[in-house]
Amino acid sequence: MMIKKFVLIVLMGIPLTGACQSDLKLWYQQPATNWTEALPLGNGRLGAMMFGGVKRELLQLNESTLWTGGPARTNANPDAYSNLLLTRNALFKEEDYAKAESYIKKMQGYFSESYLPLGDLLLTQDFVDTVTTAYYRDLDIKNAISTTCFTIAGTTYTRQMFSSAPDQVMVMHLTASKAGQLNFKITSASQLIHQSIVISNNEIGFKGKAPSHIEPDYIQSNHPITQQDTLGCRGMRFELLIQATSNDGTISSDTSGMTIKNATEVTIYLSAATSFNGFDKCPDSEGKDEDKLAKDYLKAASEKSWQSLLAAHVADYHHYFDRVSFHLAASAINTDATLPTDQRLLAYTKGAKDPVLETLYFQYGRYLLISSSRPGGVNANLQGIWNKEIRPPWSSNYTTNINAEMNYWPAEGTNLSEMALPFIDFIKNVAVTGKVTARQFYHARGWAVHHNSDIWALSNPVGDMGSGTPAAANWAMGSPWLSQHLWWHYEFTKDKKFLHDTAYPLMKSAAQFCMDWLVDYKGYLVTAPSVSPENNFFDDKHQRGSVSIATTMDMSIIRNLFTNVIAASETLGEDKAFRDTIVAKRAKLFPLQIGKKGNIQEWYKDWEDPDAHHRHVSHLFGLFPGQEISAIKTPEFAAAAKKTLELRGDGGTGWSLAWKINYWARLLDGNHAYSLIRDLLKFTGRTSINYGNGGGSYANLFDAHPPFQIDGNFGGISGMTEMLLQSQDDEISLLPALPDAWTGGHISGLKARGNFVISINWDHKKLESTRISSLSGGICKVRTACPLKSNVFRIASEKTDHGYLTTFLTQKGKTYDLVSAATDRKTE
């Protein structure tokens, strides 16, 4: 009953002017003319970019499992290992980095496969009159529904669309305010080789088989697309079905499309599926029955009304989205709040203060994660699930030297733990292929993953046996970095069964790889060969190089894994002998170094940077996402990290800006973090690749590397979260990096390590009150600028050099309200 009532409100509540805007809508006064203005919808699997054209509505469609290729080959490069000793000799004995680079190139394997666009759906609508008024389109991220409406010759036309997770279809509902005014044709297209299907008068579609391989966009090739499966076991089948229903108009179909005449209300159901059946199954011979899947989803959905599908969709979406609300004091606003989102973004780019746009951006990131990563599905790729290119930038694959992990930085903290599950499944898969890679390439135990992967869980260094850039391709730290997310999932959920059954065995196996990969050198354990993603150095002879030993990032990632493995084994109370070995190994790892400029050294030696402003700042891994460098516990390293960031500068690609927001938040410098939020929200229209300082946002608030990469959206909101709440080092820090621009506000529902749900109210930059719900019980230690008080339960507040630490014992399932002593005094 409640849900029905709510749906009616949603349907009737279509605002026609900016004045009735809710804070949680992206809205525009004109259709999208290019892809980065279109609005993304998704249920984790089915994605659409809705353009909102008047005469020509374009929906660009995706299905998250539609990739080229088949299971990763196990014979990637049998000769790789013979070059390892040669590389190490070049590094240790000759210090000849060019030579090391030439050997390491012989340790490369296949390129990854490519994520594909499914196709387009076009609605071509006939109007006698050409004058359009009251045009409006939006994406309501509170309900995950997009609306386009406009008026022509006195008739208002409305199209609403969503992608339903419970019903596994996308649905569009079209209405005309005057009877019988809907006259349009539905056609479909795809860049993939396909055949049209006409099932009945009101059901059409297409099906086909994906290419067996597509070369990455950065490889020069006259024939980049290989359709034929010459290797066997490559190329998945796909199918799209489109059904329309109307209770008054007529519907007819032929191979050219579907025609709807004289209707007042039409519902279009879109169903799609592929034969993908897991990373290790031949997608054709062992594939799923995509025809049955697509038909079954469609049949079940089309038996339900638009209203009931919408109600189920909204209820399902609210279950996740509503956990967090975020408001910033509107007093700081000096922009025209009635402006549409694109103009608001432009005003912001010119310097307007707009906290509402900032909170919209935050919630939009959560919307994008819920829409691109659902339990049981595949993890969000470089573009989430939204890609229109047959040869997308970087194959729209997984890049594990930052991008794939950054996608999941906000998952736990913004209370979307379930959305991390597809990433955990991906980690389980690469741990399987990674075992073969570790053994074949390095004769090592455990699992190894390099910088690129795909839906088939590719783990070898890419480069087709020598054409990859070693600074990217031969980075071997994928398994220890990915393992961090297993530990995080445990820390935030306290799910001991998950720790025991899933996380610990994978973490331990990654640690075994690291143990075998590390080499004794001058009393330390070092990695060799070693790169610092995707940067170069000038060596002692001023020769440019990229392959050396013991880069800071390598050592920090391994230290982080070893620390987490030790904690995990202690928590489980098992595997003491292994833990002792890891404790001993950790003590011997080559430590962090402070260089002559007062910065954290990136390389084993204090070498110069050919590109001082390089977008990667991987040597600060220990600051974030690691926790080795702390403004409170290791102030010298924190000062060196700050110097590093100053030397590197603020510029960068979208994800680089996003990472820096997290860095400055960990350095407790809210104003610097905030200035980078402003950079990340700088409007750009550029879509060609720019490795320099071009990072920003498109009109649809997608992150611009450029081109579009979704990592910046996710990394950006992780940084915003870190400014308001941190929970590393066994304490919860409230408002650790609050910028002056966020004078007052309220955020509720964030998660902290220990499985606490936190709400925070602040005013005049001072904490007023906090509510802490303890989902697992246990000690809660909170750091704040002023002591916290409670009249109902016992707490102890202790003054430290960095604010007050308040400690109390929580019971599982209980909620605790605390006020700041400063606020308390004010009200007394």
One-letter amino acid of 662: N
Q: Does 657 bind ligand FUC (CB under 6 A)?
A: no
| DSSP code per residue over 743-782 | -SEEEEEEEETTTEEEEEEEETTEEEEEEEEESS-EEEEE
Q: Does 405 bind ligand FUC (CB under 6 A)?
A: no
Q: Rounded to 5 degrees, what are φ and ψ at 304?
A: -105, 155
Of the candidates 668, 687, 691, 682, the residue with the CA atom closest to the CA atom of residue 738: 668
Q: How far apart are CA 100 and CA 91, in angstroms?
A: 6
Nearest to ligand FUC of 200, 467 (CB atom): 467
Q: What are the tokens at 208?
A: 């086909």
Q: How far apart are CA 122 and CA 184, in angstroms?
A: 10
Nearest to ligand FUC of 498, 691 (CB atom): 691
| DSSP code per residue over 237-290 | EEEEEEEEEESSSEEEEETTEEEEEEESEEEEEEEEEE----TTS-TTTT---H
* Shortest CB 723 distance to ligand FUC, Å: 23
User: How many CB atoms are located within 10 Å of the residue 660 CB?
Assistant: 29
Q: Is 191 helix (H, G, I), strand (E, B) or coil?
A: coil
Q: Does 546 bind ligand FUC (CB under 6 A)?
A: no
* Shortest CB 394 distance to ligand FUC, Å: 4
Sort strands 39-42 and 796-800 into parallel, antiparallel or unpaired: unpaired
Nearest to ligand FUC of 125, 372 (CB atom): 372
Within 254-313, the residues that bind ligand FUC by CB under 6 A are: none
Q: Where are the alpha helices (DSSP H) in 667-729?
A: 670-680, 711-724
HSE (CB half, 13 Å, CA atoms) of 292?
A: 4
Q: How far apart are CA 725 and CA 721, in angstroms?
A: 6
Nearest to ligand FUC of 238, 655 (CB atom): 655
- C-alpha 140: how far from chain center: 20
* Shortest CB 365 distance to ligand FUC, Å: 17
Nearest to ligand FUC of 70, 392 (CB atom): 392
Nearest to ligand FUC of 535, 733 (CB atom): 535
- C-alpha 433: how far from chain center: 23
Q: Does 653 bind ligand FUC (CB under 6 A)?
A: yes
540, 605 in Cβ contact below 8 A? yes
Binding-site string for ligand FUC from residue 485 to residue 524, where x marks contact by CB under 6 A and - marks none: ----------------------------------------
* Shortest CB 686 distance to ligand FUC, Å: 14
Per CB under 6 A, the list member of 138, 358, 534, 731 interacting with ligand FUC is: 534
* Shortest CB 403 distance to ligand FUC, Å: 5
Nearest to ligand FUC of 340, 707 (CB atom): 707
Per CB under 6 A, the list member of 399, 459, 755, 770 interacting with ligand FUC is: 399
Binding-site string for ligand FUC from residue 466 to residue 485, where x marks contact by CB under 6 A and - marks none: ------x-------------
* Shortest CB 397 distance to ligand FUC, Å: 8
DSSP 70: -
* Shortest CB 691 distance to ligand FUC, Å: 6
* Shortest CB 711 distance to ligand FUC, Å: 7
User: How many CB atoms are located within 10 Å of the residue 562 CB?
Assistant: 23
Q: Is 208 helix (H, G, I), strand (E, B) or coil?
A: strand
Nearest to ligand FUC of 711, 768 (CB atom): 711
Nearest to ligand FUC of 53, 468 (CB atom): 468
- C-alpha 811: how far from chain center: 33
Nearest to ligand FUC of 328, 382 (CB atom): 382
Within 690-749, the residues that bind ligand FUC by CB under 6 A are: 691, 705, 709
H/E segment holding residue 593: none
Residue 7, CA distances (Å) to 16, 75, 248, 371 in order: 18, 55, 23, 20
* Shortest CB 399 distance to ligand FUC, Å: 4
Nearest to ligand FUC of 367, 394 (CB atom): 394
* Shortest CB 533 distance to ligand FUC, Å: 7
- Taking the CA atoms of 87, 93, 97 and 102 in sequence, report the sign of the dihedral they define: negative
Distance between first and last Cα of the chain? 45
Q: How far apart are CA 64 and CA 786, in angstroms?
A: 48
Binding-site string for ligand FUC from residue 355 to residue 384, where x marks contact by CB under 6 A and - marks none: ---------------------------x--
Q: How many residues bind ligand FUC (CB under 6 A)?
A: 12
Nearest to ligand FUC of 117, 706 (CB atom): 706
Q: Does 403 bind ligand FUC (CB under 6 A)?
A: yes
Of the candidates 710, 38, 701, 657, the residue with the CA atom closest to the CA atom of residue 393: 710
* Shortest CB 117 distance to ligand FUC, Å: 18
Q: What are the tokens at 625?
A: 């996402």
* Shortest CB 216 distance to ligand FUC, Å: 10
Binding-site string for ligand FUC from residue 587 to residue 616, where x marks contact by CB under 6 A and - marks none: ----------------------------x-
Tell me the residue length of the chain.
828
Nearest to ligand FUC of 396, 483 (CB atom): 396
* Shortest CB 665 distance to ligand FUC, Å: 21
Q: Which residues of the chain form contacts with ligand FUC (CB under 6 A)?
A: 382, 394, 399, 403, 472, 534, 615, 653, 655, 691, 705, 709
